[in-house]
Amino acid sequence: MSREDTRGPSGRADGHKSAGRGSGPIPSRITMLVLAALAIVLIAENTREVRIRLVVPVVTMPLYLALLIMFVLGGLCGALLLRSRGR
**Number of alpha carbons in the 13 Å side-chain half-sphere of residue 26:** 8
Q: Sign of torsion, CA 24 29 42 64? A: negative
Residues 71-84: tens digit of each pLDDT:
899 989 988 988 88
Report the SS3 class of residue 48: coil
Whole-model pTM: value is 0.55
Q: Among candidates 1, 74, 8, which has minimal Cα distance to 39?
A: 74
Residues 18-68: tens digit of each pLDDT:
555 556 678 888 998 998 899 889 888 888 999 999 888 999 999 989 888
